Structure 1
Amino acid sequence: MNGEHTRRRFAAIAIAALGLAIAAPAAAQDTKLNIGVSVKSIFGLPLVVARDKGFFKEEGLDVTLEYFSGGPPATAALMGGSLQFLNGALENNVKTAKANQPIVTIMNIQSNYAGAIILRKEIADKLGRAPKVEDLKGLKIGTLSRGGFTDVSTRYILKTAGIDPEKDATLVPIRGADRQLAAGKAGEIDAAMVTEPWGPIAVEGLGEWVYVLNTTVGQGPVLFQDMGYVVLQTTRDYLAKNRPVAEKVVRAIVKAQKFIADPKNVEEVTQIALKEYGDSQPKAMRISVETQAKTYVPYMNEAMIGKTMDLLVPNGLIKEPAPAYKDVVDASFEPLWKAYGPVK
């Protein structure tokens, strides 16, 4: 009798459990995404923070970040479909718009160009004063690649100082900021245009270089401020089919940008950056994070297209007229950008 009762009891429990399993909806799986970053640079920090702080996860996204060796291979991956989104320079999207390629920007990642021209300390010491752009005349200046953003920016800055980059200086393409510093140490170059965090690493960290001009802190031509330096891009076809996913990505990154901008989070953000980009120079990384914190903003505007054209046209990388703002930027995402709040 007791055995029969026990069997009936277990059978009832099993039936009840089966009923619950049938009634319960299947657990929703996170949407898997591959987001490219054109180079492994701290300009991608908002994406790293969104991943490591769980902001993507909160939106139901399982994000993998993939680094590339420049804009062209990253853009090819986006067009080929192995990436769903790309963190790359706005100038890349302006070029693709002119070429009628279906790529569109849906938010800003970093507004100001975070770069600096640095000079070897032993050369600067001979001047007996703080170096100026005019002192670069006749020197060998390292950039990252011919026609790339650092190369074009260096040429623009030299021209504004009355220096012909073809006749009055020698621009030396060196792939990798760490290699630029090594080339300087070996005497192969005299100066370099570096992106963050390599300015603080070279100057404050190693103490072997000095700043000539630091656009990250607002020095140099105004063109480099609020220019839409790097943005989040996707294809128009993907966006048409996956608008809700794109909105989730934007919300998560805006949340990360706000987190970075909050001064009380500087130490945590610095630790995230050190983990992602290398931990050999913690002091320099903190300086880099603090300096850039409020440049990671989501807002786009039409003037950014004009500034990009002003940079590219004189260097023969694009021809007038500029593409229309709507052909580069999908401004329908602006309500999501506003979650960041006012820029301070």
Structure 2
Amino acid sequence: MKRAGKFALLSVLSGSLVLSACGDDQSVETLEVAEVTRSIFYAPLYVAVEEGFFEEEGLDVDITTTWGGDKTMTALLADSADIALVGAETSIYVHAQNPMDSVVNFAALTQTDGTFLVSREPIDDFSWDDLKGTTYLGQRAGGMPQMAGEFALASNGIDVDEDVVLDQSVDYANIAAAFAAGTGDFVQLFEPTASEFEREGVGHVVASFGEESGILPYTGFITKESTVENNEEALVKFNRALYKAQQFVQEEDSQVIASSIEPYFEETPDDLIAQVVDRYRDQDSYAIDPYIDEDGWDHLQDIMEASGELPARFDYEDLVNTTITDQALQR
């Protein structure tokens, strides 16, 4: 049976790894997932809920949107969530502080940046030089969107310190509203907001940061090492269900996917959801399985280093667990 994920705020997240009765003595394990934002970029997660893939594994996955990487990781570390859906860079920040109970990346969801460069005015023949002398409404310093954005800009000859007026004064959750209200000439936005703005004439998509910044573990699932030690089987089930959803997103018609995840985007028309799914699939943004690529991990740290935000360089084996997916896919 299909069901929508829970959209409650962080304050109503319940305890970790709860076992509850369901039906004829069948037990279901509840996993609390804190997602960094709500986006069609995360379609496979919502598909796994709506198509019953988690349910088939005996899991009840509750999703809470925490609006920002720092808040999402705080939810995980404070045991308000069992799993964080967030950029892999946050695991590096945590691990660098040498905590008693560190974190580990155990599944990939996306493998490119998911943001798009949106211009206030239409530009028929966009050139990156069009940004020079303009106000660029950026993302949070140290967050993956901002770092990948700066990498893409630098790769195209734009120095954010010299060529644009970089405005990072707006909180992550309010960036889109600020741009709609008139702040900035260019902005970096996730979907479906970028396409909604385009349809409404508020802005115009002129470039993809996903295409510009390359393959990297942009958003994935992170948990605490203690959770791996104490309940690895639940994570194996999670990855098995996730893989089914990833294949669904790769193989099904975009309209079918749009119908599946529509409960998470009730104010977005189905045809626009399908358009965004196609846009992300066309640039290979969705990971095809839960494995995190080692070359992508190295590229992530290169981007962080270029932005001046890398606290230390960690080997792939330090912060990426592949055995969970090995078990889930029986490889």
Give the aligned partner of residue 156 of structure 1. 151
The answer on whether the counterparts of 1:37 and 1:44 sit within 8 Å (CA) in structure 2 is: no
Give the aligned partner of residue 12 of structure 1. none
- Residue among 252, 271, 280 paired with 1:292: 280
2:66 is matched by which residue type in structure 1? F
Give the aligned partner of residue 171 of structure 2. 175
Gapped runs of 5+ residues in structure 2? Answer: 1-23
Report the 3-state secondary structure (helix = DSSP H, G, I; strand = E; otherwise coil) of the residue aligned with 1:30: strand
Gapped runs of 5+ residues in structure 1? Answer: 1-25
Give the aligned partner of residue 53 of structure 1. 51
Say which structure is richer in helix: 1
The CA distance in 1 between the partners of 2:293 and 2:171, in whole Å, is 31
Change over 3 Å in CA distance of 1:64–1:229 after alignment to 2: same
Please report how far the alpha carbon of residue 150 of structure 1 lies from its aligned counterpart in structure 2 after TM superposition.
2.3
2:193 is aligned with 1:213 = no
Please report how far the alpha carbon of residue 112 of structure 1 lies from its aligned counterpart in structure 2 after TM superposition.
1.4
Give the aligned partner of residue 316 of structure 2. 325
Give the aligned partner of residue 8 of structure 1. none
Give the aligned partner of residue 302 of structure 1. 294
RMSD between aligned residues:
2.3
The CA distance in 2 between the partners of 1:40 and 1:323, in whole Å, is 29
2:246 is aligned with 1:257 = yes
Larger radius of gyration: 1
2:145 is matched by which residue type in structure 1? T
The CA distance in 1 between the partners of 2:93 and 2:260, in whole Å, is 33
**TM-score normalised by the chain length of structure 1:** 0.80
- Residue among 280, 300, 306 paired with 1:314: 306
Aligned residues: 301
Q: Deviation per CA, 1:291-318: give whole Å up to 9, x if none.
A: 2245232221211221111111122211
Single out whichever of 37-46 and 70-79 deviates more from structure 2.
37-46
Change over 3 Å in CA distance of 1:184–1:292 after alignment to 2: same
The answer on whether the counterparts of 2:140 and 2:172 sit within 8 Å (CA) in structure 1 is: no
The answer on whether the counterparts of 2:239 and 2:325 sit within 8 Å (CA) in structure 1 is: no
The answer on whether the counterparts of 2:29 and 2:58 sit within 8 Å (CA) in structure 1 is: yes
Give the aligned partner of residue 106 of structure 1. 106
Report the 3-state secondary structure (helix = DSSP H, G, I; strand = E; otherwise coil) of the residue aligned with 2:43: helix
Give the aligned partner of residue 233 of structure 1. 222
Matches within 5 A, 1:56-71: 56-71=54-69
The answer on whether the counterparts of 2:132 and 2:164 sit within 8 Å (CA) in structure 1 is: yes
Give the aligned partner of residue 269 of structure 1. 257
The answer on whether the counterparts of 1:143 and 1:194 sit within 8 Å (CA) in structure 2 is: no
2:135 is aligned with 1:137 = no
Q: Deviation per CA, 1:155-193: give whole Å up to 9, x if none.
A: 22222233221222112233357x545444443211111
The answer on whether the counterparts of 2:142 and 2:309 sit within 8 Å (CA) in structure 1 is: yes
2:228 is matched by which residue type in structure 1? L
The CA distance in 1 between the partners of 2:180 and 2:229, in whole Å, is 50
The CA distance in 1 between the partners of 2:176 and 2:104, in whole Å, is 35
**TM-score normalised by the chain length of structure 2:** 0.83
Give the aligned partner of residue 11 of structure 1. none
- Residue among 247, 269, 287 paired with 2:236: 247
The answer on whether the counterparts of 1:90 and 1:228 sit within 8 Å (CA) in structure 2 is: yes
Please report how far the alpha carbon of residue 121 of structure 1 lies from its aligned counterpart in structure 2 after TM superposition.
2.3
Give the aligned partner of residue 41 of structure 2. 43
The CA distance in 1 between the partners of 2:270 and 2:287, in whole Å, is 20
Identity %: 22
1:165 is matched by which residue type in structure 2? V
1:154 is matched by which residue type in structure 2? G
The answer on whether the counterparts of 1:36 and 1:83 sit within 8 Å (CA) in structure 2 is: yes
The answer on whether the counterparts of 1:202 and 1:208 sit within 8 Å (CA) in structure 2 is: yes
The CA distance in 2 between the partners of 1:152 and 1:70, in whole Å, is 14
The CA distance in 1 between the partners of 2:221 and 2:109, in whole Å, is 6
